[in-house]
A = this chain, B = another copy of it.
Amino acid sequence: MRVDGTRRRTIWLEGDGRTVGIIDQTSLPFGFRTARLTRLDEAEEAIRAMRVRGAPLIGVTAAYGMALAMAESASDWSVDLAYGRLLAARPTAVNLRWALDRMREVLDITPPGERMARAYAEAASMAEEDVATCEAIGRHGLRLVKDMQALHPDRPLNILTHCNAGWLATVDWGTATAPIYQAHQQGIPVHVWVDETRPRNQGAFLTAWELGQEGVPHTVIPDNTGGHLMQRGMVDLCIVGTDRVTAEGDVANKIGTYLKALAAKDTGVPFWVALPGSTIDWTLEDGVRDIPIEQRGGEEVSDLTGQTRDGRVETVRVVSPGSPVANYAFDVTPARLVSGFITERGLCEATRDGLSGLFPDQDDRTRPRNAANDA
């Protein structure tokens, strides 16, 4: 999408064909900076320090991290080392493991002398596939947006989103934002309520920034506000992303998503979750029971970085001195609160049947319904 009018992606291979460029997202929204990853440890650090974040982008960065490792050493030992170090950089994102498993499968059957070239090619494929996936999510989600807009032809459609499931979380387009960008590009009037998304303010910092760069009308609100807006008919549709979806359709996403889903259910507002199929964790069923929730450092809650009126970037404590804090990174929204999923293969219900219907190749469980169909 656009930055200062120029088309960009979040990650790219540099002209030298070896080092990897990224948008350093820690500099946003008060500055725009890119960074160059030249070694495995820099890719690992970029993931750990959240210079890149969002499940799909983490996956592609990890793939390029494997490629950078192969450029350093293409031994079996190097494959194992890179896999282990990149996997440990963020414990919750299922995409990270998915991307690394895919890279290792390819590298395991490739002779060391060809591994470097093969790794770069595979990482590039994954980046292109991610762009195609997000574009397809956008295309399917656009149907939803058009259907809802038809109900209110006289005014912009109000869409609420939480955290950043925008193009900054992917290679391009984003997941939750893809339908919004496509609607906007087609001239369908949309307005986005952007949840601030404490503690890291990814909504206020990243989603607001990218919507602004693209010219999409939006308003930033405190995380407390969405319920009130839904109650007063000021939200037509919620679309959020996800870090992990269980086979039964439970959704792990940024902390606070569950609260918005409850409000949507209570007020009759459709609540949709946009995801690539790779985000589905078929090994899990009950999300509240089974999904481990990452706890992050308390300083993300107690300290907030912003810009002073005279342009300095300062970090200030925003909690009473001496008071302890807790920082749970995600919560789980039970499938019963989700209107449906927007995937690269189409829309579906938030049920195992819904997910299996679109991704039968991924769900290898023998289900009674199939047996009944066969009979």
Interface of A toward B, CB cutoff 8 Å? 28-30, 193-194, 196-199, 201, 204-206, 208-209, 211-212, 218-229, 231-232, 254-256, 258-260, 262-263, 266, 288, 293, 301-309, 314-328, 330-332
Contact = CB atoms under 8 A, between A and B. Distances in A.
A191 B254 CA distance: 25
B317 A314 contact: no
A318 B331 CA distance: 23
A126 to B, nearest CB: 29
Contact of A308 (B197, B259, B316, B327): B316
18 contacts: A196-B319, A205-B320, A209-B323, A212-B323, A218-B323, A219-B326, A220-B301, A220-B326, A225-B255, A228-B328, A231-B331, A231-B332, A259-B259, A259-B260, A262-B266, A304-B316, A307-B316, A316-B316
Most buried by B among A225, A262, A307: A225
For the residues of A in contact with B, the DSSP-based class is: mixed
A92 to B, nearest CB: 13
A304 B318 contact: yes
B323 A194 contact: yes
A14 to B, nearest CB: 27
A8 B254 CA distance: 41
A323 B208 contact: yes
- Identical chains in the assembly: 2
Nearest to A256: B224
Given A222-B301, A263-B262, A317 B306 contact: yes
B255 A222 contact: yes
B204 A288 contact: no
B320 A212 contact: yes
Contacts of A302: 220
Contacts of A204: 318-320, 323
B29 A320 contact: yes
Contacts of A196: 198, 301, 318-319
A259 B331 contact: no
A193 to B, nearest CB: 8
A322 B210 CA distance: 12
Contacts of A320: 28-29, 204-206, 208-209, 212, 220
Contact of A325 (B199, B220, B227): B220
A64 to B, nearest CB: 27
A303 to B, nearest CB: 8
A309 B305 CA distance: 12
Most buried by B among A194, A305, A330: A194
B219 A197 contact: no
A305 B308 CA distance: 10
Contact of A225 (B28, B221, B232, B256): B256
B208 A319 contact: yes
A174 to B, nearest CB: 16
A212 B323 CA distance: 7
Contacts of A205: 318-320
A225 B328 contact: yes
Contacts of A197: 224
A255 B232 CA distance: 13
A256 B30 contact: no
A325 B219 contact: yes
A305 B227 CA distance: 26
A308 B301 contact: no
Given A208-B319, A322-B212, A255 B224 contact: yes
A309 B196 CA distance: 24
